[in-house]
């Protein structure tokens, strides 16, 4: 399921409230919780035609638990036939409603400690595969382009990607927003910051990270990093070091 699922997680009940932020990066999250949170939150930019980098803020009350899945860019549309915009408007398909029901059942089992999370992941994978349609040809083509965009440090050229996709630039950009929820330009900028974050987490310095990830210089890296993640690269690296040292 790695080609469609980016992550799955379970947050157990606790005595204190908890909060978190899920950055916009073109991935879509489906979450359900025990009473106190609601179900199905979209993860991605709520302004896909702008350069704004929005995030979903999650807050859990004490004793509330949550289970969720996060889909790779474009995979959610391919699986459920819903664009990101339709999803955040509250639209549902039968298949998505069924999946949310499976997640609710899994959450009840986990909350009773009747099974391990590995078993839940197996149940979820079965639910995703059940009644699955054939792969969406447009998503398969788009996925290969997304993979290349995530690996390159070159400036995004929508004309070139559109030719690879086999359509005009405007049509390509419309399809990209429909499947991913972000414009190609915004998606690329977010992925470049994510690559920089991985480099810093691995111990790279700012200068080599900026060069490796296609930033003009350290100042450019710092501006983009702070805009997307709300923290400077240096501060982020400091947090990682402290966490690894147990501080």
pLDDT (tens digit per residue) in 144-168: 888 888 877 777 788 888 998 999 9
- Give residue 240's pLDDT: 72
* pLDDT score of 247 more than 60: no
Same domain membership, residue 163 and residue 96: no
> Which pLDDT value is given to residue 167?
92
Do 125 and 39 lie in a common domain? yes
- Band the pLDDT of 50: cuts 50, 70, 90: very low
Q: Is there a single domain that holds both residue 196 and residue 114?
A: no
Domain with 194 in it: 137-244
Which own/partner pairs from 206-212 qualify as long-range (CB within 8 Å, at least 24 positions apart)?
206/233, 206/234, 206/237, 209/233, 212/153
Tell me what pLDDT residue 173 has: 92
Q: For a pLDDT cut of 70, what percent of the chain falls above it?
A: 77
High-pLDDT (> 90) share of the chain, % = 10
A 10 A CB-CB count for 46 gives 15
Q: Residues 6 or more apart from 195 whose CB is under 8 A from it?
A: 150, 212, 213
- The confidence band for 66, taking pLDDT boundaries of 50, 70 and 90, is confident
Residues 203 and 95 in one domain: no
Q: Given 79, 106, 129, which residue is the final one in a domain?
A: 129
User: Is 152 found in the same domain as 111?
Assistant: no
Per-chain mean pLDDT for the chain: 78
Residue 40: pLDDT over 80: no
Cα–Cα distance for residue pair 123/9, rounded to 1 Å: 14
User: What mean pLDDT do residues 213-226 have?
Assistant: 90
Greatest mean pLDDT range, 51-65, 76-90, 186-200: 186-200
Indicate if the pLDDT at residue 114 is higher than 60.
no
What's the pTM?
Answer: 0.77
121 shares its domain with 9 = yes
Q: Are 206 and 221 in contact (CB under 8 A)?
A: yes
Do 11 and 48 lie in one domain? The reply is: yes
In this predicted structure, the answer to whether residue 36 has a pLDDT above a threshold of 60 is no
Predicted pLDDT at 15: 86
pLDDT at 226 over 70: yes
Clarify whether residues 236 and 155 are in a common domain.
yes
Residue 53 has pLDDT above 60, yes or no: no
Cβ–Cβ under 8 Å, residues 135 and 129:
no
Whether the pLDDT of residue 39 is over 50: the answer is no
Assess whether pLDDT exceeds 70 at residue 117: no
What is the tally of structural domains in the chain?
2
pLDDT at 169 (0 to 100): 92
Residue 22: strand, helix, or coil? strand
């Amino acid at each position: 399921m790695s080609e469609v699922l980016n992550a799955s997680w379970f947050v157990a009940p606790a005595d204190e409230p908890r909060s978190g932020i899920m950055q916009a990066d073109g991935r879509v999250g489906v979450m359900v919780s025990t009473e106190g949170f609601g179900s199905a939150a979209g993860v991605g930019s709520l302004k896909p035609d702008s350069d704004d980098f929005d995030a979903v803020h999650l807050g859990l009350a004490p004793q509330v638990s949550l289970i969720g899945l996060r889909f790779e860019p474009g995979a959610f549309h391919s699986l459920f036939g819903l664009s990101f915009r339709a999803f955040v408007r509250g639209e549902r398909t039968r298949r998505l409603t069924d999946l949310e029901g499976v997640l609710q059942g899994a959450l009840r089992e986990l909350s009773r400690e009747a099974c391990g999370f590995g078993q839940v992941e197996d149940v979820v994978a079965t639910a995703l595969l059940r009644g699955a349609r054939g792969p969406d040809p447009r998503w398969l083509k788009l996925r290969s382009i997304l993979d290349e965009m995530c690996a390159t440090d070159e400036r995004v050229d929508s004309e070139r990607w559109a030719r690879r996709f086999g359509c005009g630039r405007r049509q390509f950009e419309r399809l990209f927003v429909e499947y991913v929820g972000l414009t190609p330009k915004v998606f690329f900028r977010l992925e470049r910051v994510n690559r920089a974050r991985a480099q810093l987490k691995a111990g790279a310095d700012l200068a080599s990270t900026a060069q490796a990830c296609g930033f003009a210089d350290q100042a450019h890296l710092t501006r983009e990093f702070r805009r997307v993640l709300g923290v400077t690269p240096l501060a982020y690296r400091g947090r990682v070091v402290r966490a690894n040292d147990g501080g």
